């Protein structure tokens, strides 16, 4: 197997598919780490713990994910569910970081 990562449409073996998925997963983890760095900043910037949870902003983020999914031609509902979990994990992380201050 080579180290070349093929686009999904170019894959002809499961090894190529798996290599591509693993590569994307590594990229996703790096992006999530970048996102959590913003949660560090939010925990540092927000003056009160009660400001950590913002349901209006949560809905906006999930709506943005739905719109992005729609534009990308992928199913909206599972993406919205994933983003709900991502936002909840981000909120929990931000609470932990806020409490460490």
Q: How far is CA 40 from CA 4, 35, 73, in A?
A: 35, 9, 32
Whole-number Å distance between alpha carbons of 27 and 5: 13
46 labelled binding-site residue: yes
Q: How many residues does the chain have?
A: 101
57 labelled binding-site residue: no
CB 58 within 8 Å of CB 44: no
Q: Which two tokens stand for residue 48?
A: 């009160």
94 labelled binding-site residue: yes
35 labelled binding-site residue: yes
Pick out the residues of the known binding site for substrate: 18, 35, 46, 94
As annotated, the binding site includes: 18, 35, 46, 94
């Amino acid at each position: 197997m080579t180290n070349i990562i093929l686009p999904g449409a170019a894959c002809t073996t499961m090894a190529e598919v798996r290599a591509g998925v693993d590569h994307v997963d590594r990229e996703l983890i790096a992006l999530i780490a970048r996102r959590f760095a913003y949660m560090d900043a939010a925990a540092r910037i927000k003056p009160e713990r009660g400001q950590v949870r913002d349901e209006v902003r949560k809905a906006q983020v999930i709506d943005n994910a739905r719109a992005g999914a729609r534009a990308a031609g992928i199913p909206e509902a599972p993406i919205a569910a994933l983003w709900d979990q991502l936002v909840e994990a981000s909120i929990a992380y931000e609470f932990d970081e806020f409490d460490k201050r």
